[in-house]
Amino acid sequence: MARDTWTETDTQRAKQYWAEYQHQHEVSRRRGQTAGIDPASSRIWFGASAQEIVAQMEAEGVTTPLYFVRVGVDYYLRKGGRR
């Protein structure tokens, strides 16, 4: 899957895999970590940041786009500050 072919279907599939993973595994110990979800294979990567996960992938020779979330919330990064 090329980076420029990411679709809304990929996003929804990744969210579905993440919901299933959380239902089957205890993830509360990982709160605050980053999860990278591959919508093609359903593989889930964990690390301190998206950059750390990408480094893990490169070390294994994996080059696929991922959907990132922060464990414990439904997003990875919010843009903007508090008012």
pLDDT over threshold 60, residue 42: yes
pLDDT over threshold 70, residue 81: no
**For the residues of 22-75, what is the DSSP string, one character each?**
HHHS--GGGTTSEEEE-TTT--EEEESSHHHHHHHHHHHT-----EEEETTSS-
Q: Residue 74: what pLDDT?
A: 74
66 burial class (0-12, 13-18, 19+ CB within 10 angstroms)? buried
DSSP 12: H
DSSP 2: -
pLDDT over threshold 80, residue 32: yes
Query: pLDDT category, 66, cuts 50, 70, 90?
Result: very high
* pTM beyond cutoff 0.85: no
Please provide the average confidence, as pLDDT, over all residues in the chain: 90
Residue with tokens 């696929």: 64
